[in-house]
Amino acid sequence: MFHSLATKLTLAFLLVGVVGAILVALLVGIRTRSEFDRFLTSRDRDTVTQALSSYYAANGSWAGVEQSLADDPRLAFYMRRLTLLDTDRSVILGLRGYPPGATLPDDDNLTSQPIRVDGQVVGYVLVPAAERFVRSADRDHSPLPEMDFIQRVAWAAAVSAIVAVLIALVLGSLLARTLTRPVRELTLATQAMAEGKLDQQVRVRSRDEIGQLAASFNRMTSDLARASQARKQMTADLAHDLRTPLSILRGYTEGLKDGRIQGGPALYSVMHSEVEHLRHLVEDLRVLSLADSGELSLNRRSIDPGALIERAGLAHIVHAEQQGLSLQIESAPDLPSVAVD
């Protein structure tokens, strides 16, 4: 089964479909997670900014803000990635590696959002570049209901990949059968030819390489059928020609045996002529047999076609004059030599 061309093509199409589906699923998953993390980060920052603005408006300072955020699990989770700075860009809480009170320099790698109360900037919320997007591990262990969206997208991507693989399998099988149909027809036709049925023709279904192969096969079988018919006809003609001298020789030998005719130079000359005729016919049969077996060797030699035409014309010029005809021999000058047997 796995040795058939259709199966190999189907497996090739299936492999391409599987690889393509996996790549698409991975790219969709990565891109979706990246964009979703970007959205959640922006939303978290806005939520924390609003909560901190409300806290500052209610308390007039940042004193006790850490405990207030810790009492709210959602805000505490958001602050794992966000940092609170005062107006002097001093760390209040949240940034790893910097103790509270440390002043952060202006840095393009830090994206900050001002916290405003009554139009006045009272602090900043920022996301370091290394943590600008939510890490997958944090999101996967998050109690946030938004994580269901990522799981649904991943499930949809997996189902889509499986469906794409099944479609690739079905379409690949159909396409493989379509592509290999001419090959199967050629295989059956060659098997029939091996059994001696030379008159095989296949349908030319396209103009591509397989279609050209089918057309060449049809021409080959037509030539072989004509050659076989010609060989059979030649054999029949030779068999017919053999009957004439054999009948003559048989009649003479029976007459000599019965004493009905007397031998003599004239009779022996006729019998010798018929024997020579038989010899030529047998030689023709031998040549035909050698040609059929592919063992016929040709003794080629180069000749001048102009000289050959002239000799052939001279051999018939006398006969033409006797018939009242004028035979003219003409050939093009500088004809190339040809190799003949």
Q: Within 10 Å of residue 135's Cβ, how many Cβ atoms?
A: 12
Same domain, 17 and 136: yes
Q: Please state, in angstroms and rounded to a whole number, the distance separating the CA atoms of residues 72 and 78.
A: 10
97 with 24: CB under 8 angstroms?
no
Q: Looking at the structure, tell me whether residues 22 and 158 fall in a common domain.
A: yes
206-256 tens-digit pLDDT: 787 888 888 888 888 888 888 788 878 877 887 777 787 788 778 878 887
Q: Is residue 27 part of a domain?
A: yes
Report the mean per-residue pLDDT for the chain: 77
* pLDDT above 70: residue 300: yes
Across 298-309, average pLDDT = 82
**Does residue 309 share a domain with residue 215?**
no
Confidence (pLDDT) at 97: 59
Residue type, 151: Q
User: Which pLDDT score, from 0 to 100, does residue 199 have?
Assistant: 78
Coil, helix or strand for 113?
strand
Q: Is 245 part of a structural domain of the chain?
A: yes
SS3 of residue 116 by DSSP: strand
Is the Cβ–Cβ distance between 104 and 98 less than 8 Å?
A: yes
Compute the CA torsion angle 318, 324, 326, 327 (nearest 10 deg). Answer: -40
Q: Which of 223, 210, 221 is nearest to 181 (CA)?
A: 210
| 194, part of any domain | no
Q: Residues 137, 20: contact at Cβ < 8 Å?
A: no
Q: What is the CATH number of the domain that holds 55?
A: 3.30.450
Q: How many domains does the chain have?
A: 3
Q: Do 333 and 289 have their domain in common?
A: no
Residue 219's pLDDT is 87
Sign of CA dihedral 322, 325, 326, 329: negative
Q: Among 103, 135, 163, which residue terminates a domain? A: 163
Most distant pair of Cα atoms in the chain: their distance: 157
Residues 230 and 287 placed together within one structural domain of the fold: yes
Q: End of a domain among 103, 129, 163?
A: 163
CA distance 325 to 319: 9
Alpha helices in the chain (DSSP H): 5-59, 65-70, 73-78, 136-140, 147-194, 209-258, 265-293, 305-322
Rounded Cα gap, residues 286 and 207, in angstroms: 43
With CA atoms as reference, report the closest residue to 202 among 3, 210, 225. 210
Domain that includes residue 216, residue range? 209-297
Domain annotation covers residue 232: yes
Q: What distance in Å separates the CA atoms of residue 213 and residue 204, rounded to the nearest whole number? A: 9
* Length, in residues, of the chain: 341
Residue percentage of the chain with pLDDT more than 70:
86
> Could you tell me if residue 193 is inside a domain?
no
In this structure, the answer to whether residues 289 and 302 fall within a common structural domain is no
Beta carbons of 64 and 92 less than 8 angstroms apart? no
Confidence of residue 266 (pLDDT cuts 50, 70, 90): confident
User: How far, in whole angstroms, is CA 335 from its chain's centroid?
Assistant: 49
Q: Which residue has the tokens 């509270």?
A: 100
Q: Is the domain of 140 the same as that of 38? A: yes
Provide the percentage of residues in the chain whose pLDDT is more than 90.
Answer: 0
Q: Does residue 185 lie within any of the structural domains?
A: no
Task: Give the three-state DSSP class for 124.
Answer: strand
137 pLDDT band, cuts 50/70/90, is very low
302 & 259 share domain = no
Kindly state whether residues 327 and 282 are assigned to the same domain: no
Q: Which of 147, 163, 179 is the C-terminal boundary of a domain? A: 163
- Is position 313 within any domain? yes
Q: Count how many Cα atoms sit within 13 Å of the Cα of residue 58 in the half-sphere of its side chain.
A: 9
> CATH number, domain at 274?
1.10.287.130
Residues 54, 118, single domain; the answer is yes
Let me know: does 231 contact 292? Beta carbons within 8 Å: yes
- Report the pLDDT averaged over residues 145-149: 67
> What phi, psi does 150 have (nearest 5°)?
-60, -40
* Range with lowest mean pLDDT among 126-135, 154-163, 257-266: 126-135
Taking the C-alpha atoms of residue 276 and residue 256, their distance in angstroms, rounded to an integer, is 20
Residues 141 and 228 in one domain: no
Rounded CA separation 30/129 (Å): 19
Question: What pLDDT sits at residue 147?
Answer: 67
Give the predicted TM-score (pTM) of the model. 0.45
Q: Let me know whether 156 and 66 are in one domain.
A: yes
Q: Is residue 219 part of a domain?
A: yes
* Reported confidence tier of residue 190, pLDDT bands at 50, 70, 90: confident
Q: What is the pLDDT of residue 145?
A: 60
pLDDT at 135: 45
Contact 28, 157 (CB under 8 A): yes
* Residue pLDDT, tens place only, 77-126: 767 667 788 888 788 876 555 677 777 766 645 667 888 888 888 888 87
Residue 110's pLDDT is what?
A: 62
